[in-house]
Amino acid sequence: MRFFDRLAARIDDRNTVVSVGLDPDTDRIPEFLADHDLPRWAFNRRIIDATHEHAACFKPNAAFYEDADGWRALRETVAYAHGKDVPVLLDAKRADIGNTTRQYAKLLDVVDGITVNPYMGRDSLAPFLSREDAGVFVLARTSNPGGTDFQDLELATGEPLYERVATRASEWNEHGNVGLVVGATTSDELEDVRERVPHLPFLVPGVGAQGGDAEAAVEHGLTELPEGTESAARGVDVGLVNSSRGIIFAGENARGEGEFFAAAGDAARRLKRRLNQYR
């Protein structure tokens, strides 16, 4: 099953568009997990147990796994999430040229989808785009303040750069496997990008700790896929709204392991209910 069809089935089955970011910062993992062989995996396993009923997707960020033990922890995490029937999107923001980007694309042998950086152009993304079964989310308008340094630059056509990126990504969507990353902290831009690309699902970060607009994230981030996909026949609006720290570290002030992870589950459930108000 292709990524977006699988995601649509998950959204439909669990009535959720929540993406839970699995960013196990080693400085914030609770001390009661410190003695485990792979503390990041031990942490993620408990987060998955606590949140999977409310998750449409899990989104580990590669930055928290880029060492030998980290990659082992990531593989265990992906396998465990799959055991709960939840797809995994790796937030890697990869792209390069030639053989290098072909190597990066091998990450899709492990995960179901990936975020990519379009700055180097289509050829840098070709090995990702050719994976018809995978989800490929192209960075368009990010949620960080510095995103305006380049993304808002006005082109000769009068359009900002991020809108041109969205248009190009839509043109690259030959296999129906392309989505966009569009931050919830810029609700006006969310609307503008949606008007430009009506059928690309969005991954919308920034709703949790960054305080983004949940209503705009749902209104503009979700879309019904074009005809010809399994999910379109069911009329399921597809997209993801992500929260990482706001969920996985919701229990930082809790007393004991049970309370810590129960807080994560509660945070995921609250976000699901909050988003579902606008669906």
Instruction: Note the Cα 223 to chain centre separation in Å.
Output: 15
Torsion sign, CA atoms 218, 133, 92, 16: positive
Token pair for 33: 């997990």
DSSP secondary structure string, 63-109? GGT-SHHHHHHHHHHHHHHHHTT--BEEEEEE--SHHHHHHHHGGGG
Pair of tokens at residue 20: 């839970």
Does residue 272 carry a catalytic annotation? no
Q: Are 81 and 88 in contact, with CB atoms under 8 Å apart? A: yes
Choose, from 59, 84, 93, 106, the residue flagged as catalytic. 93
Count of positions (residues) in the chain: 279
**224 in helix, strand or coil?**
strand
Active site amino acids: 93
